[in-house]
Structure 1
Amino acid sequence: MSEKPSKYYVTTPIYYVNDKPHIGHSYTTILADVLANYHRLLDVPTHFLTGTDEHGQKVQQAADANGITPQEQCDQTVVRFQELWKRLEIKNDDFIRTTEPRHKKVVQETLQELFDRDEIYKAEYEGWYCVGCERFFTEKDLVEGNCPECGRPVDKIIESNYFFRMSKYQDWLIDYIESNPGFIQPAFRANETLGFLKNKELQDLCISRPKARLAWGIELPFDADFVTYVWFDALINYISAVGYKSDEEQFKKWWPCSTHLIGKDILTTHTVYWPTMLKAMNVAMPESIFAHGWWLTGRTKMSKSLGNVVNPMDMIDNYGVDAFRYFLIAEMTLGQDASFTEEAFVKRYNADLANDLGNVTNRVLNMISRYCGDKMPAPAKDAGFDTALDDALWKDTVAVAEEMGPMISNMKLDASVGLVMSAVRKINVYLQERAPWSLAKQEGSEAEVAHCLYTAAECLRVCAALLYPVMPAKMLELRTALGMADAKPHLGKLAEFGVLIPGSEISQPGALFPRIEAKKVDGASSSVAKEQKPAKKNQKSEIKNQKSADGLITFDQVMNVKLKTAVVLEAEKIEGADKLLKLQIDLGEEKRQLVAGIALHYAPEDLVGKTIVVVANLKPAKLRGVKSEGMLLCASIGDNLKLVTVEGDLGPGAAVK
C-alpha cells in the first residue's frame, strides 16, 4: 500500500429529514464507509462523520403536511437514516443532528463573531426564492423563469435580511482553487466552479430568514426576529462535530477534513459558500471536496416525482447488504454518473460475486477438504518440483495490493475493485493450469498438491482482505472459512506469504453468493419503485399457445432451457459400458454427477479441468444404473465429435445465452 496519512477525517453531506433515504444517500454513505474502512485497516486514526440537516423550509413544510411539529418530523425521520445505516453495515464514528445543542451553540457563536467583525450586515433584499433548494436567485440566474439548479418554479420575495460579505472573497477563492489543484475533485468540477466565479460577479450571501415567513431554524443571536439560513447552519456541522469552539484539542486532531464527499448537485454550496465562510472565520480549508455523479435509471435521474427511485431496504432484503455495497462501489466511476437497473445489478453480481469470487472460494475450500482432510495444507519449503506458476500467482496478487493504495488515494474505487477481481480470476486460471485434481492421482505428489492449494488459499486471503472494506461481513466469513482466528485483516501486512497456519481447521461456508436467476428480478420483486404498464391481457397466452410449425420452437421454449458452464473435476469409465463416462462436475454453487456417451472420443484424464457447457435443468435420470443430473453439449459431424467449451477463464456456473 502507499504511504499512509497521519489521520483521515471523512464526511458525507448531512441529509434532509423531510423524507425517507434513497439510493443517493446510501451511495455517499457507503462510499465514506469504504474509505474509512481502508484507512482503519492501515491503522490510520480515522473519523467518519455523517448526520442529518434538520432545519429549513422543506422540513417545516413536511411537518405541516404530516400534521406534526418540525421537531417531531425530525425525530421520526432521522430514525429511518439511522436504521438504514445499521442495515448497510455503516460504521460512522459520529452522527450529528443540527437540532442538537452542541451544533446550535457553535452556529450562534460563529454568527455573533462574524457580525461583530462586520462580516455580516442587514439590508433590504428583492429576489427569486426556490423552496426546494432553499436559495435566492437573481432574475438573470433563472432558466425560463425557473430555478437554475432544480428547474422548479420560484417565488418573488422582498424583505429585510442579513447578509454575509461573500463577494469580497471572490478573487481570493479563484486564486486558492488555482493554487491547490487537489482542493476540488475531480478536476473538471474545479473548472466548473472556476467558470462560475470568473464569469459572474459573486453576490453577498443572504444568511437569514424572517421568522414571520420561516420559524424553524436557529435563531440569530443578534436579532430574535430571524433564523439562520439552512445552508449556513448546515455547513458548520463539519467543524461543530469535531470540537470547533468547544474542544480545541479535538478540533486540532481532526481538522482540516481529509475528504468532504458530496453529490454534484451541491457543488456550489460546498466550493463557494463553505470556503468563503471558513476564510472569514480564519479556519483552515478542507484538504479536498469530492463531488460524485448521480445515479440514473437508464438515462434519467432518479426522482421521487418520476417514481423511479431505488429503495435500498428492498435491495438489501432481496440480495443482501454486501452485494448491494459491492455493486454501488464497482459500478460508478467516481465523478461520473452511473446507471442503476436491477438487470445490471444481477449481471454484475452473477459475474463478479457468484461466478468469480464465489466459485474460486468453493473450489479452493472443496479441494482442501478433499485432498487435505479439512486442514490447511503446508507450503513446500524446499520444493522438488517447478513452482514457477505458484510464484507468479503470488507476485501478481501482491502487486494488486500495492497498486490499490494509490488508486484509493486517487478515488478510483471502481478500478481498485476491478483489480482485485482480476486477481480472483487469476486464481481460477492458476487452478486450471496446475490441476491439483490430476496431481492428486500421481504417486508421491502430496507435497505439490499441498503447495498448490496453500498458494491459492493465501492469494484468496489477500483478495478477501482487499475486499473487506467493501463487503465486511462476507469477507469475514470467507477468512474465517480459511481457518483464520484473527479474521479481521490488516492491509499493511498483506505481502507476507505464510500467514495461513498449516494444520488449522477450514470450514465450508456454503455458497457465499448464490447465483441469482433472471426470473427473480421480474415483476413484483423489482426494487425500483416505478409504475409498471399493465401487460396486454392475451399477450402471454398467445405466445404460450403458439403451435410449432416445421420444427420451429417458441422463444419461451428456448428460455426454459438453462445452459451453464461447468468444470470437470473427475472422470472415469462406467464398467460394462464402452461409450459412457461418469463425470463429477463443479457448477459453481454445487457439485453434480453426469453420465455422458463420449468415451469413444475422450479419455477420462483428458476431461479433468475442462470448462464445458451443460443443460443444468434437465430432469435427473439413470443410465446403466448410474444417476445423471444434466447433459453436456457436443458438436459432431459423422464420427468426429467435440465438446462445446467456452473461451477465456470463465469459471463454472456462468449462464450460457
Structure 2
Amino acid sequence: MKQLITTPIYYVNDVPHIGHAYTTIIADMLKKHKWLRGDEVFLLTGTDEHGQKIEQAAKAKGKPPKAYTDEVSAVFRSLWDMMGIDYDHFIRTTDESHKQTIVQVFERLCANGDVYLGEYEGDYCVSCESFFLNVDSGICPDCAGSKPLSKIKEESYFFALSKYEKRLLEWYASSEDVILPKYRKNEVVRFVESGLQDLSISRTSFEWGIALPKHKGAQKQHIAYVWLDALFNYMSAFGLYQNPESLQVDSSSPAHLGEKMAYWECATHIVGKDILRFHAVYWPAFLMSLGLPLPKHIYAHGWWMRDGQKMSKSLGNVVDPRAFTKAYGAEVLRYYLLRETPFGQDGDFSQKLLCERINSELANDLGNLLHRFLAMCAKYAPQKGINSFTLENQGVAEFVVEHYGDEVKTQCKILDEINSGLIESMQIKAYIEAIWKLLHLGNAMIAKYEPWNLFKNGKSVELNAILNFVGYTLLKVANALYPIMPQTASTIAMAFGQGITPASYIYHIKQNKMFHLPLEVRVIPPLFQKLDSMLIPEAPLESTFEKVDSSDCGKEAGLALVSIEDFSKLDIRVGEVLEAEPVPKSSKLLRLKIDLGESEPRVVLSGIAQYYTPKQLISTQVCVIANLKPAKIMGQFSYGMILASKDDESLSLVRIDGKRKNGSRIS
C-alpha cells in the first residue's frame, strides 16, 4: 500500500529549533514503522519561504528575499541529512513547479465560485501569518499572548470557507482517528461549530510571494496568502496541475511527480498543535472545493518547553538540535524526544534527564544486556571464526517451552502489546516502554538462571536455552526498536549477522518465531558509553520579570506596595471552565481547561479540589492570571492561575458580577 507522510514545510524566518527536529523525527519514525509493516512510504518535507515575515527578515539581514531563503532552507536540509532523516523529497515554495500549482489552484477555486473580491479590514499577525477579528487586546491569541496584531485594510480575495462548515463536521465524524489526539479533534470541532468566517487568501501590501492572476475587477496585484501557498506543497510535490514538460529536471530536483499522486490516497500529516487549525479546517476545505481526496490522518504534537518556560532567545534557553546531535548523536536525541513525553502533550526538555536516560536505559538496560550476552557467547559458545560464535539450538525449543513457560508467555504478551497498534494511535511513549519490557525480561532471565553456574555444572542444554532465549529477545528488540533508533537497531541485528527488513519484522515481531535456526553471533563494540556529566554547558536562565525593590515600601502596613506600572504587568482575564478533572495522586489539585477566548483552551492546575467538585466548575466563569510563566506541578504543566480568596474556614473563587465574554481583561 502506498502511503504519504508529511512534515509541515518549515518557515525560514530563522534557523531550525528543537520543535522542528521533533516533528521531523516523528515523521521519519512513522515512515520506518509503516515500511516495516510492508507499506511503500513517501516522506515529504521542505521549507515555506514566502510572506511578509520573510520579507522583513531578509531586509533586516540586508539581503534579497531569495538569497536569504536559499541560505536558511539549506540549513534545514543539512540538519535533516545530519540527523539521518530519510526524506524522499525536499520541497521549497520558491520552486517554479510549486508556483505553477498555486496559480492553477487559485484559477480553479475561482472557477468553482468559491473566491470573491472584497476588502479585508481587521487584525493581522505577521508572526503566525493569521487574520483575526474582534481581538480587543491587540495581542495575537495564537502566539501565547506575546505578539502584537497589526491593523490592516486592503483589497483581498476571499475564499468561501463558511460554505464548508457542514462538510467539515461530517468529515471529522467519519473517522475516530482523522485527528489525533482526540482532545485536539474536539477542539477543532468546537471551533468549526462556533461558526466559520470566509478566509482572506491574498495580500497586496507586500511583494514577496506568488503572484496571482487578476480576477473579478481587482485593482492591485495580489499575492497568495501564505497558508494557501504553503498547504498545497503536499500535492505540488507530486505534480498537481503542472505541465510535466515545463519542469526542469536536474540532479537536485526530481522529475515530474504526477504519476506518484497515488501516495496522496493515504496521506498523514504531522504538525505542531499551533498550526492544527490551518491543516484541519482551511486545508480540507480547499481540497473539498477542488474535489480532491482528503488526508487520512492529521497528528498534532505539543510544544517543547524548558524548565517550564517557552523557549526564547532572550531567555537563553533555546535547544539547538544541531548542537545536541553533534554532542550526543542523532540516535540518542531521537530516543529522548520520542520517549520523554506522551504524544500531543507539551514536554520539558532537560539535558540532565537526557543524560540519565542514556546511563540507565540506553547504556544499562539495552547496551549492558547486549554486552553481557556477547561476552557469554564468547566464553561459552563454540567459536566459528575470529570474534564469531555459534549458538546450538538442538533441543532448545522443547526445553524452553517446558522449563521457561512463564517467561515465554510474558514475552508473547509483550509482543502482543507492541503489535497492538500503539504507533498507529500515536502512543509512541507506550510503544517504547513495551520494548523496554523485553529488555527487562532478558536481563531478568540472566539474573535468575545464572548462565555461568550452568556452564560450571556442565548443563549445556540449559545454558544454550538461556543464551538462545536472550539472543532472540535481542533480535526482537532490534526489529521493534528500528523506527525509534534505526542505527542502533541495525547494529544489534548486525551482531547476529542479520539486517532489519520487513521480512525480519514479520518473523520476529508479528510471527514471534524462535529457535528455528542456529544463531550466529559476532562480538561488536559497546553500543553506549555512560556519561559522568552533561556534554553541553548550560547557562543559568534569566527571569523574564524585573526585580522590584520594595525594601522601603509599606513598612507600617506590613505590605509591599506596587506601582500601577507593576500592577499593569498582570494580565487577568475572564475565562469559562470547559473541563475539570482530578489530578492523579493528588487530593488537592484539579486540572481545568479554560476558554480564554484564544484559539485553544488553557490548561490550569488549581488546588481547589477540597472545596469544589469538577461538576460545580463546568461552565462557570473564573478570573485567570494569563501571563504567568508555565509551572510544572505533579508532572503536568499549568498555564495560568485562577484567583481565589481563602480564610480559616473555607475558600471561594473570585467571580465577576454577570457573565462576560471569554478573554475579557480585568483591570
Same fold (TM over 0.5): yes
Match of 2:527 in 1: 512
Q: Does 1:221 align with 2:213?
A: yes
Matches within 5 A, 1:63-102: 63-102=58-97
The AA in structure 1 aligned to 2:61 is N
Cα drift, residue 489 of structure 1: 6.8
Partners in 2 of 1:143 and 1:177 — Cα distance?
31
Match of 1:301 in 2: 310
Match of 1:232 in 2: 228
Cα drift, residue 486 of structure 1: 6.9
CA contact (8 A) 2:3 2:267 kept: yes
Task: Assess, with a 3 A threshold, how the Cα gap between structure 1 residues 45 and 363 changes in structure 2: closer, same or farther.
Answer: same
The AA in structure 1 aligned to 2:489 is M
Q: Does 1:497 align with 2:513?
A: yes
Match of 1:145 in 2: 138
Q: 1:404 aligns with which of 418, 427, 444?
A: 418
Partners in 1 of 2:313 and 2:502 — Cα distance?
39
After superposition, the C-alpha distances for 1:194-218 in whole angstroms (9 at most, x for unaligned) are 211222x3111111111xx211000
CA contact (8 A) 1:12 1:28 kept: yes
Q: Does 1:103 align with 2:103?
A: no
CA contact (8 A) 2:304 2:349 kept: yes
Cα drift, residue 394 of structure 1: 4.3
The AA in structure 2 aligned to 1:515 is K
Match of 2:202 in 1: 208
Partners in 2 of 1:325 and 1:175 — Cα distance?
36
Larger Rg: 1
Q: Does 1:465 align with 2:479?
A: yes
What secondary structure sits across from 1:306 in the alignment? Answer: coil
What secondary structure sits across from 1:145 in the alignment? Answer: coil
CA contact (8 A) 1:379 1:450 kept: yes
Matches within 5 A, 1:402-481: 402-405=416-419, 406-443=421-458, 445-481=459-495
What secondary structure sits across from 2:270 in the alignment? Answer: strand
What secondary structure sits across from 2:343 in the alignment? Answer: coil
Cα drift, residue 182 of structure 1: 2.1
Aligned pair count reads 517
Task: Assess, with a 3 A threshold, how the Cα gap between structure 1 residues 382 and 91 changes in structure 2: closer, same or farther.
Answer: closer
Partners in 2 of 1:87 and 1:95 — Cα distance?
14
- 445-454 or 128-137: bigger deviation: 445-454
Q: Does 1:250 align with 2:266?
A: no
Partners in 1 of 2:27 and 2:222 — Cα distance?
35
Partners in 1 of 2:179 and 2:362 — Cα distance?
34
Task: Assess, with a 3 A threshold, how the Cα gap between structure 1 residues 185 and 482 changes in structure 2: closer, same or farther.
Answer: same
Cα drift, residue 389 of structure 1: 5.1
Partners in 1 of 2:497 and 2:32 — Cα distance?
23
Task: Assess, with a 3 A threshold, how the Cα gap between structure 1 residues 159 and 479 changes in structure 2: closer, same or farther.
Answer: same
What secondary structure sits across from 2:221 in the alignment? Answer: strand
5+ unaligned residues in a row in structure 2: which ranges? 243-255, 545-667
After superposition, the C-alpha distances for 1:175-229 in whole angstroms (9 at most, x for unaligned) are 3223333222211111111211222x3111111111xx21100000236711101
Cα drift, residue 490 of structure 1: 3.0
CA contact (8 A) 2:91 2:237 kept: yes
After superposition, the C-alpha distances for 1:514-538 in whole angstroms (9 at most, x for unaligned) are 1112x335xx534x895699xxxxx
Matches within 5 A, 1:352-371: 352-371=361-380
- 179-188 or 375-384: bigger deviation: 375-384
Match of 1:616 in 2: none
Match of 1:35 in 2: 30
Cα drift, residue 9 of structure 1: 1.3
What is the identity percentage for the equivalent residue pairs of Structure 1 and Structure 2? 38
Partners in 2 of 1:303 and 1:85 — Cα distance?
22
Cα drift, residue 93 of structure 1: 1.2
CA contact (8 A) 1:130 1:136 kept: yes
Cα drift, residue 460 of structure 1: 0.5
Partners in 2 of 1:488 and 1:117 — Cα distance?
45
After superposition, the C-alpha distances for 1:381-414 in whole angstroms (9 at most, x for unaligned) are 2678575454543443344334323111111111
Task: Assess, with a 3 A threshold, how the Cα gap between structure 1 residues 23 and 360 changes in structure 2: closer, same or farther.
Answer: same
5+ unaligned residues in a row in structure 1: which ranges? 1-5, 534-657
After superposition, the C-alpha distances for 1:522-567 in whole angstroms (9 at most, x for unaligned) are xx534x895699xxxxxxxxxxxxxxxxxxxxxxxxxxxxxxxxxx
After superposition, the C-alpha distances for 1:59-92 in whole angstroms (9 at most, x for unaligned) are 1111111111111111101111111111211001
CA contact (8 A) 2:238 2:258 kept: no
Cα drift, residue 477 of structure 1: 1.4
Q: 1:525 aligns with which of 537, 546, 567?
A: 537
Q: 1:8 aligns with which of 3, 7, 14?
A: 3
The AA in structure 2 aligned to 1:93 is D
Partners in 2 of 1:386 and 1:109 — Cα distance?
65
What secondary structure sits across from 1:491 in the alignment? Answer: helix
Q: Does 1:332 align with 2:341?
A: yes
CA contact (8 A) 1:376 1:503 kept: yes
The AA in structure 2 aligned to 1:367 is M
Cα drift, residue 20 of structure 1: 0.7
Partners in 2 of 1:325 and 1:529 — Cα distance?
25
Partners in 1 of 2:263 and 2:400 — Cα distance?
52
Task: Assess, with a 3 A threshold, how the Cα gap between structure 1 residues 228 and 419 changes in structure 2: closer, same or farther.
Answer: same
CA contact (8 A) 2:97 2:239 kept: no
The AA in structure 1 aligned to 2:108 is E
Partners in 2 of 1:238 and 1:26 — Cα distance?
19
CA contact (8 A) 1:483 1:507 kept: no
The AA in structure 1 aligned to 2:486 is P
After superposition, the C-alpha distances for 1:332-371 in whole angstroms (9 at most, x for unaligned) are 2111111111112112222211110011111101100111
Task: Assess, with a 3 A threshold, how the Cα gap between structure 1 residues 64 and 529 changes in structure 2: closer, same or farther.
Answer: farther
Task: Assess, with a 3 A threshold, how the Cα gap between structure 1 residues 86 and 384 changes in structure 2: closer, same or farther.
Answer: closer
Partners in 1 of 2:287 and 2:499 — Cα distance?
47
The AA in structure 2 aligned to 1:502 is P
What secondary structure sits across from 2:531 in the alignment? Answer: coil
Partners in 1 of 2:152 and 2:56 — Cα distance?
18
Partners in 2 of 1:385 and 1:403 — Cα distance?
25
Match of 1:650 in 2: none
CA contact (8 A) 2:468 2:519 kept: no
Partners in 1 of 2:497 and 2:528 — Cα distance?
19
What secondary structure sits across from 1:351 in the alignment? Answer: helix
Partners in 2 of 1:95 and 1:421 — Cα distance?
34
Match of 1:627 in 2: none
Partners in 2 of 1:503 and 1:232 — Cα distance?
55
Match of 1:381 in 2: 395
Partners in 1 of 2:69 and 2:397 — Cα distance?
66
What secondary structure sits across from 2:141 in the alignment? Answer: coil
Cα drift, residue 483 of structure 1: 3.1
The AA in structure 1 aligned to 2:87 is N
What secondary structure sits across from 1:466 in the alignment? Answer: helix
What secondary structure sits across from 1:197 in the alignment? Answer: helix
Partners in 1 of 2:516 and 2:370 — Cα distance?
15
Cα drift, residue 249 of structure 1: 6.2
Cα drift, residue 315 of structure 1: 1.1
The AA in structure 1 aligned to 2:120 is Y
Partners in 1 of 2:264 and 2:486 — Cα distance?
28
What secondary structure sits across from 2:352 in the alignment? Answer: helix
Partners in 2 of 1:530 and 1:218 — Cα distance?
41
Q: TM-score, normalised by structure 2?
A: 0.74
After superposition, the C-alpha distances for 1:615-644 in whole angstroms (9 at most, x for unaligned) are xxxxxxxxxxxxxxxxxxxxxxxxxxxxxx
What secondary structure sits across from 1:525 in the alignment? Answer: coil
Q: Does 1:165 align with 2:160?
A: yes
After superposition, the C-alpha distances for 1:128-183 in whole angstroms (9 at most, x for unaligned) are 11110112211x2x262211111311111111111111111123222322333322
Partners in 1 of 2:500 and 2:163 — Cα distance?
56
